[in-house]
Structure 1
């Protein structure tokens, strides 16, 4: 049986006649629906991935804070969203992004690890499975459900040496003391690296590909710093003006970066294990 094309999925899920498609990647294509409208059509890479992303986009949109592409259709396999016309990053858009992120986080979540309404417990971050298991205490929840599951996978695959794993485990043991002041659960994008920020032609930043869940707001900000972001100083400055961060945020950045670095270690191996160990050592030295 021939797999359904991106254009055919777009037509079925939107009820519109689909025209040409332009492949963006193996999983994503831009499809012309006529009348000047184009949509992005994405094939989920695992069970529940498309539905989890759709639920995350809707949850972020419901906060009325950040700009995300509207969901136009979807099922267990496919997700159809509006296409965002892209431009260049600028200082005004960066400052606006900082303020919008502060408002998104303030919209809150029922618990740390809470999934978006209608979203599955077994979700994804990028190509890696991510389980949304609620918890009330951030340090223990972060260790049990965000750090240790990926550390165990990295060790089992041989990507993480025993000495490095011991440093990460030491961080988990000391998390209550390293975490800073307690904060309520924030509504997170959850995979907020620069590649998931589109600088729109309309002068706004748009967020795509969320791994949305309830978490600590510093995790989104630390992830945004991990691989670089244009005008990051303006993003963080505007965020702090709208929602001041607890003292010591800079020293806690490596702690929050442990999660995405371990995910990358599981997915890609290589030097990410070294980066994760370096982050663990920096967190311990803070």
Structure 2
């Protein structure tokens, strides 16, 4: 079987973490979940996976991807922010230093509180420390975190996610979707897998675009109906990766992220 090999420094980026995510997501395949690139071998600094032969995608591939992604999410997770089963260690992952919650928190633990304090507040602090966020901008993110923690933007999971927490890919942009024309239309690679709201993967797909995206959404919604207003929440779910891009690349990403944050605090958007 042809394979693909990637290497990393083993510190900032640990490939044994990525392998754990791939295996965890692949556990949903037996129930119709999206096909995940098979792990051949993995260490902290080296990951070998199957090579995927890509094809030009069609509408049918997109609908199959959507339906199978719904079933991957339905495999569930233990709590918001939990790492994959078989997690090899570390409290963060990748260049984004995405925080994980290694144990289930005490007391109420909603999606809104997780997203507020373990995503938006974390990235806002990093932007401020990097000199990319002024006090007025920081106040916008503070208001958003308060609204999130109060449950203002909480919404039900899609119908098939009965555990209350979805099993998500976590970095589902177009580059990590390899169209192969097979049973599930595509094969997924390079996850930052965790327990989260299923709409986080859909928001990431919408952030940078994907071929036949509306057909992916249609296939998903047919297999696992989405909660009312889901399209209006996509930008909110994509806000933390957008903030990370602002950290990495600066430019217009910071202003775009702040505009999204204002939208969900009820404030005016930037021009």
TM-score, normalisation: structure 1: 0.82
Which of residues 246, 257, 264 in structure 1 aligns to 2:227? 246
Residues 19, 42 of structure 2: 8 Å contact kept:
yes
| CA deviation after TM superposition for structure 1 residue 201, in Å | 5.0
Return the structure number with greater strand share. 1
- Going from structure 1 to structure 2, the CA distance change for 1:182 and 1:91 (only over 3 Å counts) comes to closer
1:285 matched residue in structure 2: 266
| CA deviation after TM superposition for structure 1 residue 46, in Å | 4.4
Q: Which has the higher contact order (CA 8 A, sep 6+)?
A: 2
1:166 matched residue in structure 2: 139
Residues 207, 235 of structure 2: 8 Å contact kept:
no
Tell me how far apart the structure 2 counterparts of residues 193 and 161 of structure 1 sit (CA, whole Å): 29
- Secondary structure of 1:209 counterpart: coil
Residues 265, 273 of structure 1: 8 Å contact kept:
yes
**Bigger mean CA deviation after superposition, 57-66 or 203-212:** 203-212
Q: Per-residue CA shift, 1:71-130, capped at 9, x if unaligned? A: 0001111000000001112101100010011101111001111100122342325x2211
1:50 aligns with 2:19: no
Which of residues 269, 275, 281 in structure 1 aligns to 2:250? 269
Report how many residues are paired: 249
1:185 aligns with 2:165: yes
TM-score, normalisation: structure 2: 0.87
Residues 49, 123 of structure 1: 8 Å contact kept:
no
**Correspondence 1:50-129 to 2 at 5 A:** 50-64=15-29, 65-119=33-87, 120-125=89-94, 127-129=95-97
| CA deviation after TM superposition for structure 1 residue 45, in Å | 4.5
Which of residues 113, 120, 137 in structure 2 aligns to 1:140? 113
Tell me how far apart the structure 1 counterparts of residues 170 and 179 of structure 2 sit (CA, whole Å): 18
Let me know the Cα RMSD of the aligned residues: 1.7
| CA deviation after TM superposition for structure 1 residue 165, in Å | 2.1
Q: Per-residue CA shift, 1:227-259, capped at 9, x if unaligned? A: 011111101011111111111112212211111
1:38 aligns with 2:11: no
- Secondary structure of 1:281 counterpart: helix
In the alignment, structure 2 segments of 5+ residues that lack a partner are 158-163
Residues 179, 186 of structure 2: 8 Å contact kept:
yes
Tell me how far apart the structure 1 counterparts of residues 70 and 58 of structure 2 sit (CA, whole Å): 19
1:5 matched residue in structure 2: none
Tell me how far apart the structure 2 counterparts of residues 178 and 116 of structure 1 sit (CA, whole Å): 28
Residues 59, 117 of structure 1: 8 Å contact kept:
yes
Tell me how far apart the structure 1 counterparts of residues 135 and 121 of structure 2 sit (CA, whole Å): 14
